């Protein structure tokens, strides 16, 4: 695999979460007699996180048909669903952009060449007209000039049509690029920012000079494993989506709401005092506590599902890692002291 052409995935969830994934990955590899090499580990890392539905579907199909994970199969999965999917989209659009530019350039060059030829011809004919008194000859030369002028006008019109077409195609390509860019930073399940976008946004905010008060909230669904084990992963996904909806509802317009990993979600809150961040977190927590989610198939109530929240305020010497660590420590304290609370 050409690693130089790959978009590297981000694998930096919390230590506890990675440990949990490890306990799931190794038995899966052993059960299906799959080599525990880095490529296969990356595939099954994404598989157990359930953050990559397309990969999950592809792996399930292979497992159900007892297809072996040989070198080519593993690399194809890795390339299609982990590292190069976005890159291919960008390459395809890039090729189309070059095609449009080349066509427009050819049209412009043709018109310029035609204009140069016409100009040379006009100069020669002007010289002839100045030295030719015969009317018949003059009329013939004028007729040639008229024809050449019409030909140049037709070439210019063709160029304008090509440029108009190129402009339309470029607008379409710009829209496609915007869509690809949006997909690249969006979590497929919740529609929130994904982990890659979270990391980038947090770094950009921290690097801003003279930054105002910034807070970070990390939210975790309490006893989420119990929800998955009791009702299944589909219901678990719906619970995550519901919490994401509450976060978007209560967060302010200039906040950045993201899925940090698994059932852990986050809100980056620039220009937000700590007390305001606590108020927002409490509003989300209270509404979640009061909610009584039901299973659509039979209206079975899932019972009370709660969240725990940790909040940190950005300090002058913080980097992204230290900032997240303090929010994560506050979240840990919330869970260790009874859950369903906001700690800061």
Task: From the candidates 263, 264, 282, 321, give the one annotated as an active-site residue.
Answer: 263
Instruction: Name the DSSP class of 82.
Output: I
Q: How far apart are CA 67 and CA 34, in angstroms?
A: 10
Q: How far apart are CA 10 and CA 19, in angstroms?
A: 16
Of 105, 101, 114, 109, the closest CA to residue 154 belongs to 114
Read out DSSP for 125-176? HHHHHHT---HHHHHHHHHHHHHHHHHHHHHHHHHHHHHHHHHHHHHHHHHH
74 phi and psi, to 5 degrees? -65, -45
Contact of 69 with 34, CB cutoff 8 Å? yes
Please say if 252 is a catalytic residue.
no
Of 17, 11, 22, 9, the closest CA to residue 264 belongs to 17
Contact of 216 with 206, CB cutoff 8 Å? no
Active site (catalytic) residues: 263
């Amino acid at each position: 695999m050409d690693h130089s052409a790959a978009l590297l995935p981000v694998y930096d969830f919390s230590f506890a979460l990675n440990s949990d994934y490890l306990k799931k990955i190794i038995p899966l590899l052993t059960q299906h007699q799959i080599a525990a090499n880095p490529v296969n580990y990356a595939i099954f890392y994404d598989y157990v996180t359930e953050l990559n539905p397309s990969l999950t579907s592809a792996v399930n199909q292979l497992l159900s048909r007892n297809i072996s994970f040989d070198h080519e199969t593993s690399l194809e999965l890795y390339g299609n669903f982990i590292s190069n999917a976005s890159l291919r989209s960008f390459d395809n659009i890039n090729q189309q952009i070059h095609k449009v530019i080349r066509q427009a350039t050819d049209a412009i060059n043709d018109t310029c060449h035609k204009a140069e030829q016409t100009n040379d011809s006009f100069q020669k004919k002007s010289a002839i007209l100045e030295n030719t008194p015969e009317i018949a000859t003059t009329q013939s030369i004028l007729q040639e000039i008229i024809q050449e002028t019409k030909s140049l006008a037709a070439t210019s019109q063709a160029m304008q049509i090509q440029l108009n077409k190129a402009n339309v195609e470029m607008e379409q390509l710009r829209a496609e690029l915007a869509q690809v860019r949006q997909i690249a930073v969006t979590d497929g399940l919740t529609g929130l920012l994904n982990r890659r976008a979270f990391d980038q946004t947090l770094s950009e905010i921290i690097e801003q000079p003279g930054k105002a008060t910034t807070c970070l909230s990390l939210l975790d669904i309490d006893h989420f494993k119990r929800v998955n084990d009791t009702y299944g992963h589909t219901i678990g996904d719906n619970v995550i989506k519901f919490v994401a909806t509450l976060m978007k509802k209560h967060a302010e317009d200039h906040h950045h709401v993201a899925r940090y990993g698994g059932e852990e979600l986050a809100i980056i809150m620039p220009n937000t005092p700590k007390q305001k961040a606590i108020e927002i977190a409490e509003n989300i927590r209270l509404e979640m506590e009061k909610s009584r989610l039901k299973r659509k198939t039979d209206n079975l109530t899932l019972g009370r599902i709660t969240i725990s929240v940790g909040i940190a305020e950005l300090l002058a010497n913080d980097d992204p890692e230290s900032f997240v660590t303090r929010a994560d420590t506050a979240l840990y304290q919330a869970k260790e002291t009874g859950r369903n609370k906001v700690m800061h």
